[in-house]
């Protein structure tokens, strides 16, 4: 019974896995791969139009049913190609495109005059299944699998009238293998990407972002800031005389303090702030703001750290830049200069005795 419960629980977890469209798009966007992916999808959507054109060029094999399906499939292919060239879909639009494409391919394969041509057309379901596996939920993927099995069964049934049983089995197996195995492999790749995106951007000690993740998350702030926010602020937080804690209490205590500071920074900053362990006892925070000098947050952080055990204090440097200046091609260089300015301001605070805030 325990084994059955685990199996049922595992299947339920698989079924309830959320749609992964948003994080996949974010992953592609942060790495400059959104437009190449858009062009690839346009090519994939345009390619199937050659099949309806080929059928329509052979009047002897053209029936009213195949003509209607060919025109519909060709029209959908043209519309989908135009859409991908000019838009990036919302999650809902993407699901509609995937389901419509899957249904059109199935109807197209059934409408073929030749059973073997119809069976060959069914293998294209691996493409729509792969798209669903990469961008969407397991529920939609289960729909794709079900349609693939139905299409394979119909193709095998049609081929049975003119072929041997071995050929029928081969047709059914080939369609199911491609329509299921290819999406499964792509799903595994997407899962590996998710694991990489999650763990490659995190500091293992504190769970905060590392430098790479920090810069990529800043990119997200620049793309969709709050409507009232006009500036990007960066804070460099450096714990004062942290070596004393390691020397007096040991490195285990020092690590515990770093984790506690990480938790404090999470608790005292907005939910969408990017927080990074920049190295050693240094932390970086980035957030958009409605003013050029939002020092109250920096002062609150400095005060909160000063109330921690082991007499921990921090020197905080801040720097801001107008968001409109970060729209151009040199934004990464400007962000790095902003970080450098916050770092320089932090060292001014440290030279002035620490446990204070300085603005660049």
Number of domains in the chain: 2
In a domain, 205, yes or no: no
Pairing of strands 314-322, 231-239: antiparallel
pLDDT score, position 22: 85
In a domain, 323, yes or no: yes
219 backbone dihedrals φ, ψ, rounded to 5°: -55, -35
pLDDT in tens, 97-150: 899 889 988 887 887 777 887 888 888 899 999 999 999 999 999 999 999 999
Same domain, 166 and 228: no
Using a CB cutoff of 8 Å and minimum separation of 24, what contacts does 183-186 make? 183/126, 183/129, 183/130, 183/132, 183/133, 183/141, 183/144, 183/145, 184/133, 186/130, 186/133, 186/134
Same domain, 280 and 318: yes
Same domain, 351 and 218: yes
* Closest-CA residue to 230 (of 288, 271, 189): 288
Q: How is the beta sheet containing 282-289 ordered, strand by strand? A: 274-279, 282-289, 231-239, 314-322, 356-359
Spatial separation of the C-alpha atoms in residues 48 and 288, rounded to whole Å: 45
pLDDT in tens, 228-240: 778 888 999 999 9
In a domain, 91, yes or no: yes
Spatial separation of the C-alpha atoms in residues 134 and 143, rounded to whole Å: 14
Q: How many CB atoms lie within 10 A of CB 312?
A: 22
3-state secondary structure of 252: helix
pLDDT score, position 53: 59
Min mean pLDDT across 26-35, 205-214, 272-281 is at 26-35
Whether 226 is catalytic: no
pLDDT at residue 54 tops 60:
no
pLDDT at residue 328 tops 80:
no
pLDDT score, position 235: 93
pLDDT at residue 195 tops 80:
no
pLDDT score, position 220: 64
Same domain, 192 and 277: no
Tokens standing for 282?
Answer: 């240094």
Spatial separation of the C-alpha atoms in residues 185 and 179, rounded to whole Å: 11
Q: Quote the mean pLDDT of the chain.
A: 85
| All residues at 6 or more sequence positions from 41 whose CB lies less than 8 Å from its CB, including other chains | 84, 131
In a domain, 37, yes or no: yes
In a domain, 31, yes or no: yes
Same domain, 187 and 85: yes
Q: Of 199, 232, 266, which marks where a domain is finished? A: 199
216 backbone dihedrals φ, ψ, rounded to 5°: -70, -35
In a domain, 206, yes or no: no
Spatial separation of the C-alpha atoms in residues 86 and 42, rounded to whole Å: 10
Same domain, 174 and 241: no
Same domain, 74 and 155: yes
Give the residue-averaged pLDDT of 58-64: 60
pLDDT score, position 2: 67
- Which residues span the domain enclosing 232? 211-359
Q: Of 155, 177, 199, which marks where a domain is finished? A: 199
Same domain, 37 and 177: yes
Same domain, 191 and 221: no
Same domain, 240 and 349: yes
Min mean pLDDT across 43-57, 133-147, 250-264 is at 43-57
Whole-model pTM: value is: 0.65
Min mean pLDDT across 87-96, 132-141, 188-197 is at 188-197
Q: Of 151, 170, 199, which marks where a domain is finished? A: 199
Same domain, 171 and 106: yes
CATH number at residue 327: 3.30.70.270
Distance set, CA 189 to CA 130, 148, 184, 275, 297 (Å): 11, 21, 9, 28, 41
In a domain, 111, yes or no: yes
* Closest-CA residue to 130 (of 151, 173, 101): 101
Same domain, 58 and 189: yes
Options 162, 216, 281, 322, the catalytic residue: 281
pLDDT at residue 242 tops 80:
yes
Min mean pLDDT across 129-138, 192-201, 258-267 is at 192-201
């Amino acid at each position: 019974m325990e084994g059955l419960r685990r199996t049922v629980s595992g299947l339920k977890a698989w079924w309830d896995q959320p749609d992964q469209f948003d994080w996949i798009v974010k992953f592609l966007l942060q790495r400059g791969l959104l437009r190449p992916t858009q062009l690839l999808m346009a090519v994939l959507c345009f390619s199937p139009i050659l099949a309806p054109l080929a059928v329509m060029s052979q009047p002897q094999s053209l029936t009213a049913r195949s003509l209607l399906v060919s025109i519909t499939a060709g029209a959908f292919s043209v519309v989908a190609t135009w859409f991908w060239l000019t838009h990036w879909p919302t999650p809902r639009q993407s699901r509609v495109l995937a389901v419509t494409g899957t249904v059109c391919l199935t109807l197209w394969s059934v409408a073929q005059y030749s059973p073997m041509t119809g069976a060959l057309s069914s293998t294209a379901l691996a493409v729509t299944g792969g798209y669903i596996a990469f961008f969407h939920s397991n529920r939609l993927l289960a729909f794709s699998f079900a349609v693939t099995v139905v299409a394979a069964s119909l193709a095998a049934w049609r081929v049975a009238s003119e072929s041997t049983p071995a050929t029928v089995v081969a047709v059914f197996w080939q369609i199911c293998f491609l329509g299921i195995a290819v999406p499964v492999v792509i799903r595994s790749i997407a899962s590996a990407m998710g694991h990489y995106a999650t763990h490659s951007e995190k500091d293992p000690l504190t769970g905060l972002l590392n430098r790479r993740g920090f810069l990529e998350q800043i990119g997200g702030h620049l793309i969709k800031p709050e409507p009232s926010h006009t500036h990007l602020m960066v804070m460099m937080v450096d714990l004062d005389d942290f070596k004393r804690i390691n020397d007096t209490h040991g490195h285990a205590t020092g690590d515990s303090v770093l984790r506690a500071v990480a938790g404090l920074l999470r608790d005292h900053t907005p939910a969408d702030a990017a927080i990074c362990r920049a190295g050693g006892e240094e932390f970086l925070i980035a957030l958009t703001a409605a003013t050029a000098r939002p020092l109250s947050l920096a002062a609150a952080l400095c005060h909160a750290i000063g109330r921690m055990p082991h007499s921990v204090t921090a020197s905080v440097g801040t720097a801001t830049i107008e968001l409109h200046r970060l729209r151009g091609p040199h934004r990464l260089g400007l962000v790095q200069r902003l970080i450098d300015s916050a770092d320089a301001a932090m060292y001014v605070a440290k030279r002035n005795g620490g446990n204070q805030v300085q603005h660049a």
